[in-house]
Chains A and B, each alone.
Chain A
């Protein structure tokens, strides 16, 4: 027993570093003055070392089990952990260059979220999944409330209530699965065996319940109600981190669940995709607040990523993971853009962006690039991501001769066209409209901000022209499947 713990602990060294980091940050906060930046630098150090330790943690093996099936480390898990670490680094850069003064506890909470993401991406066990989701959620609730304004409290309470409800539903589903199979690891042979003896409609319903908690985390309808309020009121670097990292982990575990393939989940997934696309796109059309619009567009983007999971026979979810990888610079760039624009005009109100095009040409060009990669137009990686996802859907539709999937293909593409209207609005106001004399915008040039934003724009275009690096990486990730191979 102690042997097992000792050996397993060696494997989760990155997570141990995170835990030590939490302690370190809390100590720094307790014993230093509030203005001290020690917690920030400590946070930075922890994240960077975490990133590199994660890279090395698998060694030569294809996948390792430890802690008696509670955790399972393989290449997709490392991929998601690295992406989460990258997004935490971008969060740091964003907070730093826009001079956000965060209390030290924020960094500790982000470390907790990363810890939750690490465990969520490493598991096929229901209990670990539940505990990790709760870890991520509880830290997120506090993060949302951290600005201590009335709208933050309102958003945090909404988040809390929706989250608690979704996880309650998920727990109910898990308990039903346990009742059927007496087994909490959904990749084990006993589980698959006992589940397959039950009527498929019942299993589909229970899977929907279990997936409900996960859909809540990845911002898919109908579990999306918390997103607009949370995104609108929380401070932007935190939102930018929350808009990517928990989603990535959520998608990984949904992929694991779907690839276990004990029941045909195509119908459920198609329903969720259609709902997310419709609700996300049509609600975003009416938004005048940039962050709220990005929130609804995030719901639609989750719908697009889920399309890659539809249809499991021999499919390897390449499209989904490529889109997740592309989604990192796109969404974090979009929130950086939102913050930069709000600095120029004082609010997130889109019509106030009028006339910025003339004064700040480089900002405008970057805004256009980020906007068109959200839409999915060439020459950006947003287009490549959509192309790959829709190609895999077309492939699936053909191989299964499923008319529903053909319909989904055309529906998804038409939704991409509808989305143009609201994505183009900020660029439209910035370029095509003249500035209103009544509003005042502070005129200043910030080289750092422009440079970082241009860096995002350049990445989005560069990886369109040379996508081989990204495609090889994702290929390496999805090669071996998502479930443990050796069963005991």
Chain B
């Protein structure tokens, strides 16, 4: 089916950005509506695709393929890069997640008061890049969108953020760019190792291609290439394939983030404005997980099986370390940032398990974490908008004054810590189930991860009790400032809350999508 529906997801926001840039400033009230309309249209397209998506088919669907670059590298070889978009069971849940989170974030952006033109155009460019990286089937295209996302994020954090925003934005940019540089090294080495059979005969020379479908098929590897299996090469004593795998692990691990590459996250989250935090936690972190499954696992399955234990340990360390750090925080936003680190650790454990349950659990956890952390950051945003204070100790007894807020916060907190009937439980349960069943992981890893669940219960419940129960008069701020939620806040929080409950009760809605592709990957 050669419809352009996937390209429309990328092009529509870009057109929106152009329109916003061209409209004179007098229309600034309409910018947010343009943004909102485009997000709604994107979500409608995504639901259309959802209806047409064939759950039984493992490969890419809705593929759009057009020729783009044929770069001759000297007389004997050629680099072929095509514009290929497609969705399969791995990327489609992420696309759905992006659709939902961007819509929520754009509603939440209605509070932005200064320089709306720049804000909304950057927002639209960010939307396009994220959709592009999830839908790209060509490694080069994926990399371009992946890198290009950094620039709007840098400006979004740097202009509309908190007091220390320039430092946080620069740290985010340089740290993630260093990670992408490592991915670039692997991309180049992969490209020159794989020979595209079809084009090579057509152009009568060695054609290197970046197509994912070709890269994961190991019969395309050149015999003497850097990453060949039959003739292993060694770089500084480590086999080349494993070296590449480690580079990918570090590069995507910075994005996820995984301890010890997580230090940019608390800074970036604390300084970013609320909608940007929502996008960062809800969508951008998932790119790391998606990248690892898509690239590291599909292209280097041998190395990933060998190091599954290491990945499991890294996941475990993230869970525990993130949780302990969260326990210690007095700033609510930083607490939620560290809980993000902790929950993404579950994704890592699920990936390390190397069975269908674990992978499905990892994807589910990514989706549910996206929704729940979006909710959590919105909650912080609600409080921050009222009183500009993020310290937990400043709030007491909020339940009396803001009952609806309390209800929605309860859903978010309980979902994150893994209460059954909410989506967090399914995610954590599936990943740990897979980890217990797995042959490549020792049983200690899931056992200690359960400790992480207990810890998250501790910090979330403790915070909940401190902030919402107790004497209302002990608040640091004037009680009249703490109004209950207004309509738009209720809307966005309840959409997310409903999503979490739905997924918790009917997890098959998501699992059906990803299952077939996962089984195919595992073969």
Chain A residues with CB under 8 Å of chain B are 315-316, 318, 357-358, 361, 368, 372, 377-379, 383-384, 387-388, 390-392, 394-395, 398, 401, 403, 406, 409-410, 413-414, 416-417, 420-421, 424, 428, 431-432, 467-468, 471-472, 475, 478-479
Contacts and interface: CB of A to CB of B under 8 A. Distances in A.
A153 B71 CA distance: 46
B147 A377 contact: yes
Given A377-B148, A421-B170, A392 B73 contact: yes
Nearest to A475: B72
B72 A378 contact: no
B192 A403 contact: no
Interface in B329-372: none
B74 A478 contact: yes
Given A318-B74, A432-B158, A424 B170 contact: yes
A157 B143 CA distance: 47
Interface residues of B, number: 42
A424 B173 contact: yes
B181 A318 contact: no
Contacts of A357: 118
A390 B69 CA distance: 18
A321 to B, nearest CB: 11
Contacts of A390: 184-185, 188
Nearest to A386: B184
B184 A413 contact: yes
A394 B189 contact: yes
Contacts of B226: 394, 398
20 contacts: A316-B74, A318-B72, A361-B118, A368-B151, A372-B151, A378-B144, A379-B144, A383-B144, A390-B185, A391-B79, A398-B225, A398-B226, A414-B178, A417-B174, A417-B177, A432-B158, A432-B159, A432-B169, A468-B69, A472-B72
A398 B236 contact: no
Nearest to B146: A378
B69 A414 contact: no
B166 A417 contact: no
Given A378-B147, A467-B69, A431 B233 contact: no
B155 interface: yes
Give the interface centre of A316, A368, A395, A409 by most chain B CB atoms within 10 Å: A395
- Chain B at the A interface: SS class: helix
A348 B164 CA distance: 26
Contact of B192 (A358, A394, A420, A478): A394
A390 B181 CA distance: 11
B522 interface: no
Given A316-B74, A395-B192, A432 B166 contact: yes
B70 A468 contact: yes
Given A391-B191, A467-B69, A420 B158 contact: no
Contacts of B147: 377-378
A394 B188 contact: yes
Interface of B: 21, 69-75, 79, 115, 118, 143-144, 147-148, 150-151, 154-155, 158-159, 165-166, 169-170, 173-174, 177-178, 181-182, 184-185, 188-189, 191-192, 225-226, 233, 235-236
A272 to B, nearest CB: 22
Given A394-B189, A403-B236, A413-B184, A428 B166 contact: yes
Given A358-B115, A432-B155, A475-B72, A391 B192 contact: yes
Given A377-B147, A391-B79, A414-B178, A406 B155 contact: no
A455 to B, nearest CB: 18
Contacts of A316: 74-75
A391 B188 contact: yes
Contacts of A387: 184, 188
Nearest to B176: A417
B181 A398 contact: no
Q: Which 10 A-B pairs have the closest CB atoms?
A: A378-B144, A475-B72, A413-B181, A432-B158, A316-B74, A417-B178, A471-B71, A398-B226, A394-B188, A318-B74
By CB atoms of chain B within 10 A, which of A316, A401, A413, A417 has the most?
A417
A413 B180 CA distance: 10
B73 A388 contact: yes
A413 B179 CA distance: 11
Given A388-B73, A390-B188, A420 B177 contact: yes
